[in-house]
Copies of this chain bind each other. A is one copy, B any other.
Amino acid sequence: MISVGIIGGTGYTGKYLLEFIKQHKNIADYTIYANSSAGSKLLDIFPELLGVIENKTIQSVKELSYAHDLYFVSLPHGESLKYIPTLLAKGIKVIDLGGDYRLDTKKLYDEWYGFEHTSANLLSQKVYGLADLNSSKISGSNFISNPGCYPTSILLALIPLINNYSDNIISISSVSYSGSSGAGKSAKTELLLSELDGNVKAYNINKHRHQPEIEQELTKYGMKFPFAFTTHLLPIARGIYSTSTIHLNSAISEFEITEKYLNEYANSIFVRMRKVPPELKWVVNSNFCDINISVKEKTVVITSTIDNLIKGASGQAVQNMNRMFGWDDSLGIQKIIEN
């Protein structure tokens, strides 16, 4: 039994992190720390959790205690830098749900995030927490950088292909659609239902921060072909649907490629290979990533879908915690899967 601290976490992903921690049988207690919502009661922020969680008071991050065994950090870009180095220095385990440690070099931060990274030395210490592929590294780590939501959906869909057939690939183009909760709980006119109802738009074309994150990881598996990534907003709250189109030099059969994926994910209960293109609803409210591979001659189309708030954030974070402590992969998130 461990004790857990949550720094931040009063946004959309925070709700699920709370629920998972609440029902996790190896977590004895937890404390929430925040900035602007310090002093508030949890049920004022999450009224839907009445009767589900205790109505704790949110503590101020200014009075952060170091008494917990593990901290989940869920803060805006640049904010995590203020707390994580100290926590790690004290030998405490950290899972960062933000983007502050996902990229591997200070140079990339300057370029894509626009801030001066003040603990760049930790960038190489972190393990990139793509739970279903980086399993062994995660087990031995004290510091996990939880992947972005889009990267989770695309990396799980592409890495086995690239790992096996990189030389045969002419180009990959990934197109992702996300529900609005991916933009967080921020009062912006452009995120109003009145604006988004029945609407779709591409955004941040060629400049989304998740693009260097995806390219960084794909490169580790041998990517040496052009890659593009375009993000869109769906007129619904939850879920990510990613479609990756791969042009090949020479044809490979759908059967052969799918076999590679089945082998790769044979022990991953949260990755489900599908014989037909998955539906977003199959994964909403779960930690699953559903993947389909469709091949016609030299064209491969891989569709993958996740719940952005769970597999793309809090669910994967809990899965990473389970790995770090050597627990069963599904603890705390087991309500979703076989029990």
Contacts and interface: CB of A to CB of B under 8 A. Distances in A.
Contact of A277 (B48, B203, B234): B203
A191 B279 CA distance: 13
Nearest to A192: B191
Given A200-B279, A245-B175, A285-B285, A194 B237 contact: yes
Interface of A: 12, 22-23, 47-48, 50-53, 170-171, 173, 175, 177, 179-181, 183, 185-189, 191-203, 205-207, 226, 228, 230, 232, 234-239, 241, 243, 245, 247, 269, 272, 274, 277-285, 288, 292, 294-296, 298-299, 301, 303, 305, 335-339
A185 B192 contact: yes
A52 B198 contact: no
B239 A236 contact: no
Q: Of A201, A241, A335, which is in contact with the most chain B CB atoms at under 10 Å from its CB?
A: A201
Contact of A234 (B200, B279, B295): B200
Oligomer: number of copies: 4
Given A200-B305, A285-B285, A194 B170 contact: no
Contacts of A294: 205-206
Contacts of A337: 51-52
Given A48-B281, A191-B194, 12 more contacts: A22-B339, A52-B336, A173-B175, A175-B245, A192-B193, A197-B198, A200-B239, A201-B241, A201-B279, A201-B280, A228-B247, A230-B301
B197 A180 contact: yes
Q: Of A200, A201, A298, which is in contact with the most chain B CB atoms at under 10 Å from its CB?
A: A200
Contacts of A226: 170, 247, 298-299
B51 A197 contact: no
A279 B197 CA distance: 11
Nearest to A277: B202
A153 to B, nearest CB: 12
Contact of A278 (B23, B201, B206): B201
A116 to B, nearest CB: 24
A188 B189 CA distance: 8
Contacts of A301: 202, 205-206, 228, 230
6 smallest CB-CB distances across A and B, nearest first, come from: A173-B245, A206-B296, A202-B277, A197-B237, A173-B173, A48-B282
Nearest to A290: B50
B243 A175 contact: yes
Contacts of A335: 23, 335
Q: Of A205, A207, A303, which is in contact with the most chain B CB atoms at under 10 Å from its CB?
A: A205
A47 B282 CA distance: 7
A214 B318 CA distance: 45
Contacts of A269: 51
A192 B206 CA distance: 26
Nearest to A50: B272
A157 to B, nearest CB: 12
Given A228-B245, A247-B171, A51 B338 contact: yes
Contacts of A202: 241, 243, 277, 292, 301, 303
B200 A241 contact: yes
B23 A198 contact: no
A166 to B, nearest CB: 16
